[in-house]
């Protein structure tokens, strides 16, 4: 009897898991975040964020191969809580925002890791260089918004080496390894 009850609970839990099948979500920039951290002088982390993020995603939990993810960041929206540093980061020494105004990640393949987490292979374009990157994402939830719209969330944390994207100025004082934390909230279209 317990095994039947357990089986029923598992079926109910799987059925209650949002599948997002055939649902495209537009990134809600107000409720999404792209945060980074990089070590400074080998002693502490400097944190920053990009304030303008856009894109779409579609996570099909039942058939992950049908999922899509396309996210863009406006480089000029960098914000480290220090305007002088932000201006320097926008210049040619780092992001060269005038020449390369957008950072973009386009998922090419999505597969399931385990319950609620997925592996996304894709191409990251940064500083005019496109390289393959793998990101583990978590489906963080879904539900109704205050206006009755359907919302869904994803989060991914991954690291890159900025030198692999041609951003090799000041390596040493500013670390090569950069950790990115991306939290997306989307509105179903």
Q: Are 144 and 185 in contact (CB under 8 A)?
A: no
Residue 144's alpha-carbon distances to 33, 37, 57, 161, 173, in angstroms, are: 20, 32, 17, 38, 46
Per-residue confidence (pLDDT) for residue 12, from 0 to 100: 39
Three-state DSSP class for 11?
A: helix
Tens digit of each residue's pLDDT (9 = 90 or more) over 15-71: 344 444 568 999 999 999 999 999 999 999 999 999 999 999 999 988 999 999 999
- Encode pLDDT of 117-143 as tens digits: 999 999 999 999 999 999 999 999 999
Q: Which residue has the tokens 């609620």?
A: 116
**Which positions ≥6 away from 40 have C-beta within 8 Å?**
46, 173, 174, 175
Q: Supply the pTM of this predicted model.
A: 0.85
Please give the class, per CATH, of domain 19-188: mainly beta
Burial of 3 (0-12, 13-18, 19+ CB in 10 A): exposed
> What is d(CA 95, CA 153) in angstroms, rounded to the nearest whole number?
28
């Amino acid at each position: 009897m317990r095994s039947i009850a357990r089986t029923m609970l598992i079926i109910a839990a799987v059925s209650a898991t949002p599948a997002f099948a055939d649902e495209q979500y537009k990134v809600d920039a107000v409720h999404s975040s792209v945060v980074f951290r990089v070590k400074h002088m080998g002693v502490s982390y400097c944190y920053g964020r990009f304030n303008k993020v856009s894109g779409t995603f579609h996570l099909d939990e039942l058939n992950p191969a049908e999922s899509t993810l396309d996210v863009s960041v406006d480089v000029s929206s960098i914000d480290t809580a220090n305007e002088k540093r932000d201006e320097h980061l926008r210049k040619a020494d780092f992001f060269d925002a005038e020449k390369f105004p957008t950072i973009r990640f386009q998922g090419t393949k999505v597969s399931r890791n385990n319950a609620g987490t997925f592996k996304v292979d894709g191409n990251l374009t940064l500083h005019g260089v496109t390289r393959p990157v793998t990101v583990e994402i978590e489906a963080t939830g879904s539900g109704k918004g205050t206006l009755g719209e359907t919302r869904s969330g994803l989060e991914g944390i991954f690291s890159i080496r900025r030198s692999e994207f041609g951003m090799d100025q000041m390596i040493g004082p500013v670390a090569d390894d950069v950790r990115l934390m991306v939290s997306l909230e989307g509105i179903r279209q």
